């Protein structure tokens, strides 16, 4: 067992978020209608 309380040699981001927020955290995607500036050359 390591300092962050898991058996992994590294602190997984999922475990960090669960410990910080107290529950599962998920991503939310937002479509603002913008184009990718690298694709259209601007």
pLDDT in tens, 4-39: 777 888 888 888 888 899 998 888 888 888 877 776
Distances (CA, A) of 40 to 5, 32, 36, 37: 46, 16, 7, 6
Q: What backbone torsions phi and psi does residue 35 show, to the nearest 5 degrees?
A: -95, 165
Question: Would the pLDDT of 42 be above 60?
Answer: no
With a threshold of 0.75, does the pTM exceed it? no
For residue 18, what are the CA distances in angstroms to 6, 32, 36, 38, 42? 12, 28, 32, 35, 39
- Residue 15, pLDDT score: 86
As a whole number of angstroms, the distance between CA 34 and CA 16 comes to 32
Higher confidence at residue 6 or residue 40?
A: 6
Domain boundaries, the chain: 9-42
């Amino acid at each position: 067992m390591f300092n962050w309380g898991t058996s992994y040699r590294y602190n997984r981001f999922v475990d960090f978020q669960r410990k910080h927020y107290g529950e599962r955290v998920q991503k939310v995607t937002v479509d603002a209608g913008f184009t990718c500036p690298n694709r259209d050359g601007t």
